[in-house]
C-alpha cells in the first residue's frame, strides 16, 4: 500500500516501482529531510495543529532516526519510494498516529525543494572551503618558486620568460573568481520554498519566516509555483562546478605536459603517480589525467540536467527527479578533485635547473623589439627587424646573444652598445614590474595581496 493510493484500484507494477524509486540516490538527503521535518513539526505546533506532547514525541523520534542513521542502523524497506516517504514511515512506526500528522499542509514538492536547497548550500560551502585550501597551496608554491625562471608559453611555444610563481598566481586569481561564483550560487539557493505546498501554497498558514530561521535560510520564496517548479539553483550549481573543473583541467594539462621527459619541469610525488601493469619503467601522472578527464563529466552533468529542464512546463513534473544524480555526482567529484589537486601541487617537485637550461634565447626577441622601439623605431618596424634577426639566427644556428654589435647594426643602425645589457633573463623580468606583470616586485605584490585575501599573516 502506498501513502497516496487512495484513488487507485490497481497496484503499481514492480518494474514501475523500480523505475520510479529514488531512494537509492536521494537517501543522501536524510539529514536535510530530518531537519525539515523538525522545523515543520515546530511550525505545525505553533499553529496549533500539533500539541506540545505530539511535538515532543515527534522531535524525540526524529532525533532517534538521526542517531540511527549516524550509527548505520536505518533499515529501508522495499516500499520506501524516496527518502521523504521513508522518514515518514519510520516516524509513524515509532510514534503511531502523531506521525500521520507530520505531512499536514505540505507536499513532497516543497519538501524536496527545501531538502535539496539545504544540501546545495552545505555542499557549496564545503567546495568554497576547498577552493580556499587550494588557494593557500598555490600561494605557498608561489612563495617557494620565486627563483624559478621558466619560459612562458603561448601556443605551447616558448614566448617570454616568467617566474614560476607568476604561473601559480594566475591560478590563485582564477580561483578567486570561481569562489565568487560559488558564493553567488549559494545565495541563489538560500531561499526557502517550504510552505509552498504542492504548488499553490500551504492550506495551513504556518509561519514561514520561523521555518526559514530554524533552517538557516536567508529568505523565503515569494511565490509558491516558483518555489516548487524552479531548479535554476541546481543548474547554476552544476555550472559553477563545471567551470571550476574546467579551470583545474587547464592546469592539469600543463602539469601533465611538464611531467613528460621532454619538458621535465616537474615530477609528481610517487604517492600521486601510478605505474604500468606491463611496462616496469613507467611513472604516470594519473592523478592529473583523471582530474582533466573528469572535467568532461562535470560538463556532462550540466548538459544532462539543462537538457532535462529545457522545455519543461510548470510546476512539478517527475522529470525533475533527474536533477539529483548529476548534482550529487558533480558535488562529489569536484570535492575530491579539489582535494587531490591541492595535494598534487603541494607535493610535486620542481626541477629548477632543467627548466632554466631549457630557456630559449629567442625568448628575448620581444625585448629587443621593445629596445628598438625605445630608440624611436616604430614598433611595427622593430617587430619586422627582429623577425629578420630571428630568421637569420635560426638559419645559421647561432644565438642572438652571440651576434656582435656590428652584425646587429646590419639589421638596424639603432642597435647600440647598451643592447648587451638587455640580453639576460633577470633584465627581461625586471622590465615587467607593471602591475600584473611577471617582474619580481610585481609578483611579490601579488603574493602580499593574495595573503591578505586569505587572511594569512604578512
Q: State the catalytic residues.
A: 155, 276
| Nearest distance, CB of residue 67 and a copy of itself, angstroms | 24
- Residue 13 or 67 having the CB closest to a copy of itself: 13
Give the number of other CB atoms < 10 A from CB of residue 349. Answer: 10
Residues 197 and 106 sit within 8 Å (Cβ to Cβ): yes
Task: For the chain, state the CA radius of gyration.
Answer: 31
- Residue 67 or 351 having the CB closest to a copy of itself: 351
Helix (H) or strand (E) holding 384: helix 379-396
Distance CA 115, CA 323 (A): 13
| Nearest distance, CB of residue 208 and a copy of itself, angstroms | 5
Q: What share of the chain is helix, strand, coil (3-state, %, to 5)?
A: 65, 5, 30
Give the contacts of 17 (CB within 8 A, at least 6 positions apart).
78, 81
Residues 192 and 217 sit within 8 Å (Cβ to Cβ): yes
Residues 93 and 300 sit within 8 Å (Cβ to Cβ): no
Residue 292: name the closest of 261, 259, 328 by CA. 259
Residue 299: name the closest of 281, 326, 274, 276 by CA. 326
Residues in a beta bridge with 219? 191
| Nearest distance, CB of residue 373 and a copy of itself, angstroms | 5
Residue 65: name the closest of 104, 106, 97, 27 by CA. 27
- Residue 9 or 52 having the CB closest to a copy of itself: 9
Residue 455: name the closest of 197, 135, 18, 96 by CA. 135
- Sign, CA dihedral 123-129-133-138, equals positive
Distance CA 390, CA 386 (A): 6
| Nearest distance, CB of residue 276 and a copy of itself, angstroms | 6
Give the angle subtended at the CA of 29 by the CAs of 28 and 32, to the nearest 5°: 145
Amino acid at each position: 500500500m502506498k501513502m497516496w493510493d487512495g484513488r487507485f484500484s490497481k497496484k503499481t507494477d514492480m518494474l514501475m516501482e523500480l523505475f520510479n524509486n529514488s531512494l537509492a540516490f536521494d537517501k543522501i538527503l536524510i539529514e536535510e529531510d530530518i531537519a525539515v521535518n523538525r522545523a515543520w513539526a515546530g511550525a505545525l505546533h505553533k499553529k496549533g495543529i500539533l500539541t506540545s506532547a505530539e511535538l515532543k514525541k515527534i522531535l524525540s523520534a526524529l532525533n532517534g532516526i538521526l542517531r540511527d542513521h549516524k550509527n548505520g542502523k536505518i533499515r529501508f524497506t522495499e516500499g520506501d519510494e524516496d527518502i521523504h516517504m521513508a522518514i515518514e514511515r519510520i516516524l509513524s512506526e515509532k510514534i503511531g498516529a502523531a506521525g500521520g500528522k507530520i505531512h499536514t499542509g505540505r507536499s513532497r514538492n516543497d519538501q524536496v525543494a527545501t531538502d535539496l536547497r539545504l544540501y546545495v548550500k552545505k555542499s557549496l560551502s564545503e567546495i568554497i572551503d576547498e577552493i580556499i585550501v587550494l588557494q593557500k597551496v598555490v600561494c605557498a608554491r608561489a612563495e617557494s618558486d620565486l627563483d624559478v625562471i621558466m619560459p612562458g608559453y603561448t601556443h605551447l611555444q616558448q614566448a617570454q620568460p616568467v617566474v614560476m610563481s607568476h604561473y601559480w598566481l594566475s591560478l590563485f586569481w582564477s580561483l578567486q573568481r570561481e569562489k565568487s561564483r560559488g558564493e553567488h550560487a549559494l545565495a541563489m539557493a538560500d531561499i526557502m520554498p517550504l510552505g509552498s505546498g504542492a504548488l499553490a501554497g500551504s492550506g495551513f498558514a504556518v509561519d514561514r519566516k520561523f521555518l526559514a530561521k530554524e533552517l538557516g535560510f536567508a529568505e523565503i520564496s515569494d511565490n509558491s509555483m516558483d518555489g516548487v517548479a524552479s531548479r535554476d539553483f541546481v543548474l547554476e550549481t552544476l555550472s559553477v562546478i563545471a567551470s571550476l573543473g574546467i579551470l583545474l583541467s587547464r592546469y592539469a594539462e600543463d602539469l601533465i605536459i611538464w611531467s613528460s621527459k621532454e619538458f621535465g619541469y616537474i615530477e609528481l610525488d610517487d604517492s600521486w603517480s601510478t605505474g604500468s601493469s606491463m611496462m616496469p619503467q613507467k611513472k604516470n601522472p594519473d592523478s592529473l589525467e583523471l582530474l582533466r578527464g573528469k572535467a568532461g563529466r562535470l560538463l556532462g552533468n550540466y548538459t544532462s540536467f539543462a537538457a532535462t529542464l529545457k522545455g519543461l512546463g510548470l510546476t512539478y513534473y517527475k522529470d525533475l527527479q533527474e536533477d539529483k544524480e548529476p548534482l550529487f555526482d558533480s558535488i562529489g567529484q569536484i570535492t575530491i578533485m579539489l582535494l587531490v589537486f591541492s595535494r598534487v601541487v603541494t607535493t610535486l617537485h620542481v626541477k629548477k635547473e632543467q627548466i632554466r637550461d631549457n630557456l630559449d634565447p629567442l625568448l628575448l626577441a620581444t625585448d629587443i623589439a621593445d629596445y628598438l622601439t625605445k630608440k624611436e623605431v616604430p614598433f611595427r618596424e622593430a617587430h619586422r627587424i627582429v623577425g629578420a634577426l630571428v630568421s637569420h639566427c635560426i638559419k645559421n644556428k647561432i644565438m642572438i646573444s652571440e651576434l656582435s654589435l656590428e652584425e646587429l647594426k646590419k639589421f638596424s643602425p639603432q642597435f647600440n652598445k647598451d643592447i648587451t645589457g638587455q640580453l639576460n633573463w633577470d633584465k627581461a623580468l625586471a622590465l615587467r614590474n607593471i602591475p600584473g606583470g611577471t617582474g619580481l616586485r610585481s609578483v611579490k605584490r601579488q603574493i602580499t595581496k593574495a595573503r591578505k585575501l586569505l587572511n594569512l599573516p604578512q
